[in-house]
């Protein structure tokens, strides 16, 4: 009982801490990629029925710039956001991931002094996965992600483009396990490929609404292909991770969108398993493709270059449309079931399985030895029978 109470208290503290981060500090972003996933690439493993996980991922980017209309001043520009995710196993091969995003300091000069902590959108991912083949070394999964537009602002500088309405897509996943029986004890490689529909034709792309929203409407339906490749290498309690992920537009957003270029990030990082039921991680996103600014800025509908004074929008090439680097932190908690989170139980289970495997190997070896002894005995009996016949034939010849 005391263990359960202590566990509940710890989970509550961490949950409240994560909520406090998301509502006040706003230091990151990113969706939960599920069990055996890396920081930005999903695994093909779906949670078992009744399993509940909490995951908080944040990332931050900052640099110096300028802001203002009449009084231009130096400012710190931030790309800071956070996502809290709950993942739940519904039935076998089916789980649900629900994420709430938040942002701080949107780099939009009209609102940055008074609205610097903003609730973002809600993301929901329904995934069917864990379909294994090749003796469990390969797993496949598919997911349908949906963005629910609960955020007040959209088309945010330094972030992947988000429209003001519902967005949806499709994602295919494949995972390759070095050890299919103990997946967390050997390397894992994850691959994702998907499609995303921004559903923004006829929608406002202005991050802020000026009067009657004169201008700033999209006349296309932006769509992109997204992809990712991630690797995990376990080393005792530390997992080394490396991601490569990006997008390519099938239909580019209109020219008033900030992040309308394709991009590729590479992400090294590590995750530390404090206990079997809790882990923390840190990583660095490094932009390797996507620094070419193709946005057309317009004061009339509030699409202004971040880091450039509003009275001087001619210098629009000073900053990339994506964060050139991002520092991220994560925290994961296995909430249910309690037995899954027990380090002692997990250790006993592994010791028991190892014992069974050793006994099975011993039995197989003993059976092999017994089979060899049987063959030796049969051969020996044949030799004895041959000798007996030779002796009998010899005795008969002497009597004659």
pLDDT in tens, 209-228: 444 444 578 889 999 999 99
Q: Return the sign of the alpha-carbon dihedral for residues 332, 337, 343, 349.
A: negative
User: Over 60: is that where the pLDDT of 345 sits?
Assistant: no
Higher pLDDT, 121 or 282: 282
Q: What is the pLDDT of residues 142-156, one digit of tens each?
A: 999 999 988 877 888
67 φ, ψ (degrees, to nearest 5): -155, 160
Question: Tokens 């963005």 appear where?
Answer: 147
Quote the distance between the C-alpha of residue 351 and its chain's center.
Answer: 30
Q: Are 239 and 273 in contact (CB under 8 A)?
A: yes
Residues 6+ apart with CB under 8 A from 210: 300, 301, 302
For residue 127 the two structure tokens come to 């995934």
Please state, rounded to an integer, the average pLDDT across all residues of the chain.
77
148 membership: H or E segment, kind and range: strand 138-148
Can you tell me the distance from the alpha carbon of 263 to that of 132, in angstroms, rounded to the nearest whole number?
Answer: 32
**pLDDT bucket at 33, cuts 50 / 70 / 90:** low
Q: Are 102 and 22 in contact (CB under 8 A)?
A: yes
The mean per-residue pLDDT over the stretch 80-102 comes to 88
Residues 6+ apart with CB under 8 A from 162: 121, 147, 151, 154, 155, 156, 198
Q: Are 99 and 109 in contact (CB under 8 A)?
A: no
Q: Are 111 and 156 in contact (CB under 8 A)?
A: no
Can you tell me the distance from the alpha carbon of 248 to that of 225, in angstroms, rounded to the nearest whole number?
Answer: 5
Kindly list the distances between the CA atom of residue 13 and the CA atoms of 16, 20, 45, 334, in Å, as whole numbers in the listed order: 5, 10, 28, 14
Kindly list the distances between the CA atom of residue 12 and the CA atoms of 15, 17, 58, 194, in Å, as whole numbers in the listed order: 5, 8, 19, 35
For residue 136 the two structure tokens come to 């469990």
pLDDT at 215: 54
pLDDT at 375: 79
| Exposed/middle/buried for residue 346 (C-beta within 10 Å: 0-12, 13-18, 19+) | middle
For residue 376 the two structure tokens come to 């030796």
- DSSP classification of residue 22: I
User: Over 70: is that where the pLDDT of 208 sits?
Assistant: no
User: Over 80: is that where the pLDDT of 393 sits?
Assistant: no
Q: Which of 193, 231, 178 is nearest to 37 (CA)?
A: 231
Kindly list the distances between the CA atom of residue 28 and the CA atoms of 23, 83, 244, 284, 327, in Å, as whole numbers in the listed order: 11, 7, 19, 11, 8
Q: What is the pLDDT of residues 357-384, one digit of tens each?
A: 777 777 777 777 788 788 778 878 877 8
User: Over 60: is that where the pLDDT of 160 sits?
Assistant: yes
Kindly list the distances between the CA atom of residue 79 and the CA atoms of 84, 157, 325, in Å, as whole numbers in the listed order: 17, 8, 10
The mean per-residue pLDDT over the stretch 247-254 comes to 93
Which segment of 143-152, 291-300, 324-333 scores lowest on mean pLDDT?
291-300
Beta strands in 19-137 (DSSP E): 52-67, 73-91, 94-104, 117-133
User: Which ranges constitute the DSSP H helices of the chain?
Assistant: 2-20, 343-399
Residues 6+ apart with CB under 8 A from 242: 38, 230, 231, 266, 267, 268, 269
Percent of the chain at pLDDT > 90 equals 28
User: Over 60: is that where the pLDDT of 196 sits?
Assistant: yes
pLDDT at 292: 83
């Amino acid at each position: 009982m005391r263990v359960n109470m202590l566990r509940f208290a710890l989970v509550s503290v961490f949950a409240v801490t994560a909520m406090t981060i998301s509502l006040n500090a706003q230091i990151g972003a990113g969706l939960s990629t599920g069990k055996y996933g890396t920081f930005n690439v999903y695994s093909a493993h779906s949670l078992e029925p009744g399993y509940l996980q909490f995951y908080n991922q944040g990332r931050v980017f900052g640099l110096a710039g300028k802001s203002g209309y009449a009084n231009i001043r130096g400012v710190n520009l931030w790309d800071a956001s956070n996502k809290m995710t709950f993942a739940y196993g519904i039935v076998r091969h089916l789980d649900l991931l629900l994420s709430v995003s938040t942002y701080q300091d949107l780099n939009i000069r009209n609102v940055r002094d008074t609205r610097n902590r903003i609730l973002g959108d809600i993301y929901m991912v329904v995934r069917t996965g864990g379909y294994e083949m090749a003796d469990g070394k390969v797993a496949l999964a598919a997911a349908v992600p949906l963005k629910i537009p609960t955020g007040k602002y959209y088309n945010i500088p330094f972030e992947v483009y988000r429209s003001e309405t519902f967005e949806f897509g499709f994602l295919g996943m494949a995972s390759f396990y070095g050890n299919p029986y103990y997946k967390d004890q050997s390397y894992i490689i994850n691959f994702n490929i998907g499609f995303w529909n921004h559903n923004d034709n006829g929608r406002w792309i202005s991050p802020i609404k000026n009067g009657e929203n004169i201008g700033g409407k999209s006349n296309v339906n932006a769509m992109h292909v997204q992809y990712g490749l991630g690797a995990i290498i376990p080393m005792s309690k530390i997992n080394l991770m490396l991601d490569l992920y990006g997008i390519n537009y099938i239909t580019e957003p209109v020219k008033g969108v900030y992040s309308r270029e394709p991009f590729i990030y590479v992400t090294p990082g590590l995750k530390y398993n404090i206990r079997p039921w809790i882990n923390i991680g840190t990583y660095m996103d490094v932009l390797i493709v996507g620094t070419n600014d193709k946005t057309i800025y317009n004061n009339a509908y509030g699409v202004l270059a971040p880091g450039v004074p509003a009275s001087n929008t001619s210098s629009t090439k000073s900053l990339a449309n994506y964060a050139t680097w991002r520092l991220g932190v994560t925290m994961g908690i296995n909430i249910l079931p309690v037995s899954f989170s027990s380090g002692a139980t997990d250790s006993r289970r592994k010791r028991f399985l190892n014992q069974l495997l050793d006994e099975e190997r011993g039995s197989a070896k003993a059976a092999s030895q017994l089979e060899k002894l049987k063959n030796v005995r049969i051969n020996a009996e044949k030799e004895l029978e041959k000798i007996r016949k030779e002796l009998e034939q010899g005795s008969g010849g002497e009597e004659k």
